[in-house]
Amino acid sequence: MVKKTTLYFVMLGMISAQSFSIARIHYSGGGDWYSDPSSLPNLLNYLNLNTPMSAYDEEFRIKLTDDDANQYPYLYMTGHGNIRFTDDEIIALRSILMNGGFLHADDNYGMDDSFRREMKRVFPNKDLVTLPHDHPLFSSYFKMSNGLPKVHEHDNHPPQALALFEDKRMILVYTFESDLGDGWEDASVHQDPFPIREAALKMGVNIIYFALTQ
C-alpha cells in the first residue's frame, strides 16, 4: 500500500473521501498495542460496504515519531496493558491533535490508568468529559439511542465515551468499559452474537463520521 495524505470533504450532506485510512499507534511501555488484529480491517470493510465512504481495507501502523505520522489525521490505539510515550511522542501527538488530527482510544480492559496518565502529559490542562447519550457522536450516521454499546462485561460497569476538546472541536474520544475493538474482531475470535458485533461496528462508523464532519 502506498501511504498518502488523507483528504476529506463534505458535499451535499454526504461524506466523500479519497482513501480514508486509520493509523494504529505503536506505543511503548509493555502494552499490547497490536491487539485485536482483525478489528480495524473489519471496521474498514464495514465502512466501505455500508456508507458512501471509500477506505483502505487495511490499517496503517505508525510510531508517533515517524516522519509521516502527521499525514494520518485519524489515529487509533488500544491494548490491555501499560502505555508509555517518550517526550518526543508527547510533543508529536499534541501537535497532530492540535492541528486537525483525531484520536480514538479504545480500552481493551487494562490500559485505563496508563492512558489517563499519558493524556495528562499530552494535555495537562484538559480533562476528559463524559459524553451524554444525546451527543451528536451517537447519531452522526447510525442512531445509537443507548449510547456506547457494551460488548464484553468485566466489572459490571456501564460503558463510557469520554472526550477531550480544543475549543468546540473534539480531538479525542476514549471508549471505556465497552471493548469496541473486540466487537469488530472476526466472529470466531470471541463468539459474540451478531447484534453485538453489528452495534460495535456501527459505533465505529459513527466515531469516524463525527470526527470528519464536526
> How does strand 102-107 pair with strand 74-79?
parallel
Per-residue pLDDT at 10: 38
Which helix (DSSP H) or strand (DSSP E) does residue 169 occupy?
strand 169-176
Average pLDDT over residues 102-131: 97
**What are the structural domain ranges in the chain?**
7-213
User: pLDDT tens-digit profile of 168-202?
Assistant: 999 999 999 999 999 999 988 888 899 999 999 99
pLDDT higher than 60, residue 35: yes
User: pLDDT tens-digit profile of 55-90?
Assistant: 999 999 999 999 999 999 999 999 999 999 999 999
Above pLDDT 70, what percent of the chain? 92
Distance (Å, whole) CA 77 – CA 181: 10
Residue in the block written with cell 452474537: 193
pLDDT higher than 50, residue 6: no
Residue 55 pairs in a beta bridge with 20
Distance (Å, whole) CA 170 – CA 132: 14
Q: Tell me the backbone φ, ψ of residue 167, rounded to 5 degrees.
A: 55, -120
Tell me the CATH architecture of domain 7-213: 3-Layer(aba) Sandwich (3.40)
DSSP string, 4-17: ---EEEEETTEEEE
Per-residue pLDDT at 18: 54
pTM given for the model: 0.91
Average pLDDT, the chain: 91
